Structure 1
């Protein structure tokens, strides 16, 4: 049987980004991170600042959602939320010039 490595942290990070961005105004935050390139930069930045968890599963058992959920204690959730907020500001600041050419009035 063939096995594959699955990052359990990625779906959690993506969901947390959605939750946090819902708290921000559409312009410029939600609009900026609706751009695929910036969304990917945001995800990568966050993943580089949080512990990642992985599992190995047999290929035949794979589905779109990993079967293994890891508990996310409140402290970890709050840490992730803090990292997401800080990463949003960091990525926007880092890409201000690029955004000003792609989204007017930033």
Structure 2
């Protein structure tokens, strides 16, 4: 049976990104990373700076059910530090957007539309 290659580090990074972003203020951090592009940039930022682990699974199996990757405490700390660093670095790269104003415009469009 054919096998698929799965990056098992990805799940751990996504889980940590979710938890850490929740600890940041909604504006501007959570809003900046709420759209999938910003969040994907942050995940890629971290993945490109940590050793990634892979597993070959049967093509009929679901990666979510099969793969339970647990990082060592040292790896987890490295991932957490990179997430915090990545948030700061990426916030400086994004254009300065007033997310509160953007939300007001969206709300007005929903009410008026």
| TM-score computed with the length of structure 2 as normaliser | 0.81
| 1:93 corresponds to | 92
Rounded to whole Å, the distance in 1 between the matches of 2:53 and 2:38 is 24
Per-residue deviation, 1:67: 1.8
- Distance in 1, matches of 2:7 and 2:56, equals 9
Give the unaligned 5+ runs of structure 2. Answer: 102-113
SS of the residue corresponding to residue 65 of structure 1 reads helix
Determine whether 1:103 maps to 2:87.
no
Aligned to 1:38: 38
Mapped contact 1:8–1:53 kept (Cα < 8 A): yes
TM-score, normalised by the number of residues in structure 1: 0.86
Q: What is the distance in 1 between the residues matched to 2:72 and 2:83?
A: 17
More helix by share: 2
Consecutive unaligned residues of structure 1, counting only runs of 5 or more, are: none
Does the Cα contact within 8 Å between 1:3 and 1:58 map onto a contact in 2? yes
Whether the aligned pair in 1 keeps the contact of 2:3 and 2:58 (CA below 8 Å) is yes
CA distance in 2, matches of 1:68, 1:80: 19
Q: What is the alpha-carbon distance in structure 2 between the residues aligned to residue 45 and residue 66 of structure 1? A: 26
Distance 1:64 1:90, change over 3 A: same
RMSD: 1.7
